[in-house]
Structure 1
Amino acid sequence: MRKSSVLFPDWAYKPAWSPGSRQVQLWHFLLELLGRGEGGAIGWGGEWGEFVIRDPERLARLWGERKGKPHMNYDKLSRALRYYYNKRILHKTKGKRFTYKFNFSKLILVNYPGYLVELTGNVCEVFPWHCRLTQN
């Protein structure tokens, strides 16, 4: 396993903007941006797993560049986000515009079968990058 603050297996890590990276999933792309601090377009919110889209059109443009789809806009990106609601990977935070929340336990269990993640009582031990970003 790669030495990182995020607990994903090696195969989950693709170099950013690598050839063949068009196959990346939107949820993975969002985590990638959040992990490297793409503060202009997206950032962590108040609660654990909550993130805010600060510049919807910029985020859509970044996603379009990554996927090789120059006509990407926020309407199309938000449709893709809504697809994750039924899968319970993330949900919209009620009463907060452009705010969503990841369901990390579902995300890991569904997308990384057989990969054991021990969740301790201390969230910051499991996802220290999130705690570091939200405490600022």
Structure 2
Amino acid sequence: LEAKAKERGVTFLLPTDVVVADKFAADANTQTVSVENIPDGWMGLDIGPDSVKTFQDALADCKTVIWNGPMGVFEMEKFAAGTEGIAHSLAGITKTGTTTIIGGGDSVAAVEQLNLGSEMSHISTGGGASLELLEGKQLPGVAALDEA
């Protein structure tokens, strides 16, 4: 994907830092590290603050944003900051005219948990289906309606 983006002159952002945990649990020990320095036996469960800022800066002048998938395990407070930061940024840029489309059950749940659903342009629980529709693929449910 990085090579394809480069060929097409598209900016492709990946996290540079992550919040890691020694177990998948709300009471896990955590630390923020660069993506190159995740300790053995630890797992990345959220994007780190530098990544949040990078993504927020990139989103600031977008005209349309399609968000599918939270930034981390937002259901656990220790791993929610990335998702919360991006959600609040999207709500803010929606107010300035950006079209924000939230797709997928987890993304919708995160936005609703933060009481930001009404501040987005559109919310769809059909995450994978939404992406396939944007790719131009024929959706079986839509095809069936066309045949009726």
Normalised by the length of structure 1, the TM-score is: 0.30
**Greater RCO, CA 8 A, separation 6+:** 1
* Max Rg structure: 2
Greater share of strand? 2
